[in-house]
Amino acid sequence: MSESTDTTEATGPATRVRLTYDPEAFPEDVRDWVYEGVTDETFLASFRRRHDTVTEGETVEEFVSCGCGSPRDVTFRVAAVEGGNRLDTTTTLVVERA
């Protein structure tokens, strides 16, 4: 998947997007750090900048800093999109453990 999707079919700004990921994909001792990384506002702002649009059901891989040199690749599933499908600075991103 490209980091940026085509905006020609964008229907307007999304008001809220719910992303899920599988915490079981990570060793137990880093799961809390992964959660902190994916819910950090710096990560969420970066996610909004890198993705123009999202579609319910799509999967997206992201690199997440978990502190102390422990980066992780996290696969997110777009579980729900409210409003349009374009991400902007006003879009609320909610990340949940699946």
Question: CATH classification of 14-97, choosing from 2.60.120.680, 3.10.330.10, 3.40.50.700, 3.40.50.150?
Answer: 3.10.330.10
Give me the pLDDT at residue 9, please: 59
- Say yes or no to pLDDT of 2 above 70: no
SS (HEC) of 16-58: EEEEEECHHHCCHHHHHHHHHHHHCHHHHHHHHHHCCECCCCC
pLDDT digits (tens, 9 = 90+) for 7-27: 445 689 999 999 999 999 999
Give me the pLDDT at residue 8, please: 45
Please tell me the pTM assigned to this model. Answer: 0.86
Q: Is 64 exposed, middle or buried (0-12, 13-18, 19+ CB in 10 A)?
A: buried
Crossing angle of helices 41-50 and 31-39, in 10° steps, is 60
Integer Cα distance of 25 and 31 in angstroms = 9
Structure tokens at 94: 């909610």
Mean pLDDT of the chain: 89
pLDDT digits (tens, 9 = 90+) for 57-98: 999 999 998 777 778 999 999 999 999 999 999 999 999 999
